[in-house]
Amino acid sequence: WHVDKTTRNTMMVRRGGGRPDFESEVQWYIDENIVVIFTVNNDLNFRRVVAPAIVQTIWKESLD
């Protein structure tokens, strides 16, 4: 688990990982009380591209 500050200066706890045929990402935005859970049956590079894009769409701004 990683604890980070967002570009909005709020706290986020996150964890991601996977194996060759499955991957996941959990992001908990503590100050906003929002949890984003992303799972996919695909390779590791897919999560690293798509998960940030989904969150960016939610906040409508760029991420750290």
Residue 63 gets which letter from DSSP?
-
Q: Specify whether the CB–CB gap between 30 and 11 falls below 8 A.
A: yes
Question: Average pLDDT, stretch 53-64?
Answer: 68
* pTM metric for this prediction: 0.70
The confidence score (pLDDT) of residue 43 equals 65
> 27-38 pLDDT, tens per residue?
899 998 889 888
Give residues with Cβ within 8 angstroms of 52, minimum separation 6: 63
Give residues with Cβ within 8 angstroms of 20, minimum separation 6: 43, 44
